[in-house]
Chains A and B, each alone.
Chain A
Amino acid sequence: MSPKAVWILAEQREGKVADVSYELITRGRELANQRGTDLCAVILGDNLSDAELQTLIDRGCDRVLHASAPELRHFLPEPYDKCLQALIVKEQPEILIAAATSTGRTVMPCVAGALRAGLTADCTGLQIEADSGNLLQTRPAAGGNIMATIKTPERRPQMATVRPHSTRPAPSSTGRTGRIDRWLPPADLLKSRVRRVDFTPAAETQAIQDADVVIAVGRGFKKADNVELARKLANVLNGAVGASREAVDRGWLPYPAQVGLSGKTVSPKLYIAVGVSGTVQHLAGMQTSETIIAINSDSEAPIFNYAEIGLCGDLFTLLPMLTAKIAAAKQS
């Protein structure tokens, strides 16, 4: 008998499958292949369309399990927790991975607590241990200064959240087939002491943790008006504007843009740190980025130790020049 299935917890927003789900498929498919078992996506929401659910199969799942109820339309801690628990108890997957998003980081510890499962947070590497078949989960800790590999030898399912953008989304291929199961949870699993009463979309058009390119604004910008220079560069690179703590404390950018220990951890493909000196706390939030470029007038700034290329000079000259040259390069 083949081992029990590998599950991913896919996410949806307003009835559309969230992109981070496809990154989970990349991870899950690899693990399922190594274990010689099926990959199943669990998705909680309110009556998603077959076409939408099929995208999960097109990108590599063998099965989609959709828990559907109006109460599951938006994340609510209790119904999400109870429904996911019920499905796990019923079907006993071997592995369950979720994205380390606000949803994944909330529901997974609740479920793992109740089921006494091992859970590893914010992993950047997942693989199967050759002899035991156990899931090896590798994650950064202490601000990225330490990497730890963790396993759950006995308890099942083996659970992990995965850092968004730590892998590519699985591509879609036509002609893949799979099973779509819809499950209507009973009312007692949908009870909630929490009500969502309001939602205000973020002011910045793109969230920094979802962006492939982040332009970080530091104290070197001197005043709020100058942030526009970073926005222009972000525009030509389809990126988002992040900030050091100093820039947020000065009110130049809102707190959701803050990168670092007391803000967000990002690992985009490209991180351009401008006028950011690179405190330990800031580095903790971005040092796992794929390519780092630093622009700073202080040639001794610590950020240079983490950058592939560092420009020692005046950001007010360099930033517009870089923006113009990238725009020109894209044209040609």
Chain B
Amino acid sequence: MKIIVLIKQVPESQATRMDEATGTLIREAASSVINPLDLHAIECALLIKEAAKEKCEIICLSMGPPAATKVLREAMALGVDHGVLLSDRAFAGSDTWCTAFTLAAAVKKLGLPDLILCGERATDGETGQTGPAMGAFLDLPVISFVSSIEQIAGGWRARRMLEDGYETVEIDGPALACVLKEAAVPRLPTLQGKRLSRAKDIDVMSAQDLGVSQDDTGLKASPTRVVKIFRPSHLKKCEKLPAMDPAQAEKAVDRVVCLLKEKGLI
């Protein structure tokens, strides 16, 4: 069995993790980390591997600058067998269509696996589109919003979190699953895992290695264009009301009721 987990490096936002080996908090200011939901995808792969009767290989695949080897190395410290990085200036500026196309080309090179896992979305772009779009290029059924997944005879059983409840689906054959936080609790890297990961190679593949042309990857090939980026301000001038004693509390609550009336909310 083969599982490919797609991971992305994203800017860190106040994330802190415990280093099991030293018992200290890892805090790397302004550095890149594995997209948080991707850690849950990696954990799902590891759990499937541990539960499988057959031999199982887990490959982590990422696309990004050369520095993204760091997140692949982190994934390998958790128990992932191989890391593959797609890195080439030709990929720069890819939108979700081009990113999905390029990643799918790599999956074809690596050989179609039994399962592709990814996080539901990344914390930087927040599109959640790259995973599902790959389904189109690889002719795989896309199982989105996955809150648990397990292997069954001939395929997979997954639970999906929908707006109005949980749906269970069964899939015949290979699938692409986009997982939520609920799918598994990520483990921490062990000292031994870290040591082993340092000895492993990370394959770096270019556009040429993949046979992907400039017509299909990078900024120029992307169907979408960013016209402008701006910073909205959600900061409000807060009307802060002290409500420590009963009289203050009463007054403050009356003010809230008044606001709700003004806004037609009650």
Interface residues of B (CB under 8 A from A): 13-14, 36-37, 95-97, 100-101, 123-137, 141-145, 147, 155, 157, 160-173, 175, 180-182, 222-232, 234-236, 238-244, 246, 248-250, 252-257, 259-261, 263, 265-266
Contact = CB atoms under 8 A, between A and B. Distances in A.
Nearest to A101: B163
Nearest to A294: B238
A314 B101 CA distance: 53
A326 B238 contact: no
Nearest to A327: B266
A110 B145 contact: no
A285 B95 CA distance: 23
Most chain A beta carbons < 10 A, residue from B37, B130, B147, B244: B244
Contact of B147 (A147, A255, A306): A255
B262 to A, nearest CB: 10
Interface residues of A, number: 95
Contacts of B222: 118
Contacts of B143: 77, 194
Given A110-B132, A119-B97, A291-B265, A322 B224 contact: no
Contact of B129 (A109, A142, A152, A308): A109
Nearest to A113: B136
B63 to A, nearest CB: 16
Contact of B234 (A78, A194, A287, A309): A287
A86 interface: no
Nearest to B171: A194
A308 B235 CA distance: 9
Given A261-B123, A262-B36, A312 B144 contact: no
5 closest residue pairs by CB, A with B: A113-B136, A313-B243, A118-B223, A113-B133, A109-B132
10 contacts: A81-B136, A109-B130, A114-B136, A120-B224, A147-B229, A152-B223, A281-B13, A305-B238, A313-B242, A317-B246
Contacts of B248: 313
A311 B253 CA distance: 8
A273 B255 CA distance: 16
Interface of A: 13, 74, 77-78, 81, 101-102, 105-106, 108-114, 116-122, 136, 140-155, 192-202, 207, 209-210, 213, 237, 255-256, 258, 261-263, 269-270, 279-281, 283-284, 287-288, 291-294, 299, 304-314, 317-318, 321-322, 325-326, 329-330
Instruction: Identify which of A140, A201, A309 gathers the most chain B CB atoms within 10 Å of its CB.
Output: A309
Contacts of B147: 255
B173 A293 contact: no
Given A148-B226, A149-B228, A310 B240 contact: yes
Nearest to A245: B181
A65 B126 CA distance: 31
A329 B266 contact: yes
A13 B164 contact: yes
A276 B179 CA distance: 26
B249 A149 contact: no
Given A113-B132, A146-B232, 8 more contacts: A81-B136, A105-B129, A149-B226, A194-B141, A207-B164, A284-B123, A291-B263, A325-B254
Nearest to A289: B234
Contacts of B242: 299, 312-313
A227 B259 CA distance: 24
B167 A151 contact: no
Contact of B226 (A150, A279, A317, A326): A150
